[in-house]
Amino acid sequence: MEIDNDPAYQQMINGELYLESPILQQRRRDVRTKLMQYNQIADNDDRNTKMKSLLRSAGDRFFVEPTFEFSYGVNIRIGNHFYANHGVTLCDEGLITIGNDCKFGPKVGLYTPAHPLDPTVRRTEAERTAPITIGNDVWIGGSAVILPGVTLGNNVIVGAGAVVTHSFPDNVIVVGNPARVLKQNAPQS
């Protein structure tokens, strides 16, 4: 892909401060146009095939309800057997990796951009990213938000409305804002 050779793209996925280049701007415009079209398709197979074509990779049994939104698509890797309910947003300025057998409730958000805290730098429109990694067998409840740099282990359940600000290991249920461990989850069999 042309985007892979863009220096701004490399800075973006490496977590360095970057400004959006013309190549990145064009990719976002193209993806936005296609998402507007694809989210209107009523036929599940047709919609999901087209959505999947915009991602870096996605495994078998990929199913998303409309609306499914993302910034670039090329920074998203999804394993087998993925389901996303209505209104899911993946801000994939940074890399997003989602394991196998994951389910997202409605209005889940994964946000990789990390805007500068210094207002002088923020005014330049430069930003950086931090990747999000989701393990296997993860269920994220409705309206939960996963912030930049978070890794969720395998068999994690994120309660509805949680704001996940840091990483969690395997086999936990997390809830709240900021998210905290509610209890251990039964290990996978």
Give me the count of residues in the chain.
Answer: 189
Active site residue ranges: 115
| DSSP symbols for 7-59 | HHHHHHHTT--B---HHHHHHHHHHHHHHHHHTT---HHHHHHHHHHTSSEE-
What does DSSP say about strands 172-175 and 180-184: parallel, antiparallel, or unpaired?
antiparallel
Widest pairwise Cα distance in the chain? 51
